[in-house]
Amino acid sequence: MKSSIADFAVISPRTLAEALASLRQTPPPVPLAGGTDIMVLLNAGQLEPGVYLNLYSVPELRRPIEVSAGVRDAGTWGAGGADPPGEVRLSALTTYADVRRHAEVRRLLPMLPLAAREIGAVQIQSRATWAGNIANASPAADGVPPLMAYDATVELSSAAGVRQVALSEFYSGYKQTARRPDELITGIRIPVPAPGSIDYFRKVGTRKFQAISKVLLAGLVELGGSREIRKIRLVFASVMPFTYRARKTESVLEGRRLEPGAVSLAVETLRTELKPIDDIRSTARYRLKVACNLLEEFLGTTMGC
Residue ranges binding ligand FAD (CB under 6 A):
30-38, 40, 55, 92, 119-120, 124, 128-129, 131-133, 135-136, 141-143, 184-185
Q: Which residues contact 43 (CB under 8 A, 6 or more apart)?
A: 2, 3
Least Å distance, CB 60 to ligand FAD, is: 11
Q: Are 194 and 220 in contact (CB under 8 A)?
A: no
**Judged by CB, which is closer to ligand FAD: 58, or 262?**
58
**Judged by CB, which is closer to ligand FAD: 129, or 269?**
129
**How many angstroms separate the CA atoms of 145 and 155, rounded?**
17
**How many angstroms separate the CA atoms of 91 and 55, rounded?**
11
**Nearest by Cα to 231 from 165, 108, 149, 145:** 149
**Judged by CB, which is closer to ligand FAD: 178, or 288?**
178
Helix then strand count (H, E) for the chain reads 12, 14
Least Å distance, CB 186 to ligand FAD, is: 7
Least Å distance, CB 131 to ligand FAD, is: 4
Q: Which residues contact 156 (CB under 8 A, 6 or more apart)?
A: 162, 163, 164, 165, 178, 179, 180, 183, 184, 185, 186
Cβ-proximal residue to ligand FAD, closest one: 132
Least Å distance, CB 158 to ligand FAD, is: 11
**Judged by CB, which is closer to ligand FAD: 85, or 120?**
120
**How many angstroms separate the CA atoms of 134 and 115, rounded?**
14
Least Å distance, CB 140 to ligand FAD, is: 6
Least Å distance, CB 36 to ligand FAD, is: 3
**Nearest by Cα to 92 from 162, 188, 5, 11:** 188
**Judged by CB, which is closer to ligand FAD: 52, or 298?**
52
Q: Is omega for the bond preceding 27 within 30 degrees of 0, making it cis? A: yes
**Judged by CB, which is closer to ligand FAD: 97, or 221?**
97
